[in-house]
Amino acid sequence: MKIISALGCMLLYGLVAGQLQIAAAEEIKVYSVAEGAFIMTETIHKTEAEWRRILTQEQYHILREKGTEPPFSGKYDQNHEQGVYRCAGCGLDLYSSKDKFNSGSGWPSFTAPVAAENITTKDDNSLFMTRTELLCARCGGHLGHVFDDGPPPTGMRHCINSAALVFVADK
């Protein structure tokens, strides 16, 4: 009887947790490059196990554990094709090749996202310095950091890990 009761509690807990996870999703406004307009979408919340199933080990380390790939090692640092860079975790449009520049840092760098609504920022005081962390607005994945040493027109350098991105070339 205790086993059945324990299983019932675990099932009930799982259902409640699932409902809480679904309830945690919220509607947000983001820019869709394909639509050429702002659209409404929901934030994405997954368990650690779900993220591990859908992401590569490197993507998981960067997006979910706030890791950083070594400079000059990412596949998009020297990518010069025209297109859109999307979040590797959820597919949200993040950056356009039109805003990409060679910063010499070893990471893909952009002057701005496709829309400010598509990213969020957070103070990052790790590694004995103060930086501004960039996160995907839909799934909360760590993308990289932003610095105020970029070129015009914004003067900003969004320094992004290649493994946090998926590139979709223009047709």
Residue of 158, 155, 128, 130 whose CA lies nearest to 143? 158
Q: Is residue 108 helix, strand or coil? A: coil
Q: Cite the active site residues.
A: 159
Distance CA 44, CA 26 (A): 8
Q: How far is CA 74 from CA 25, 81, 89, 133, 164, in A?
A: 31, 15, 16, 19, 10
Distance CA 93, CA 85 (A): 6
- How far from each other are the two terminal CA atoms of the chain, in whole angstroms? 62
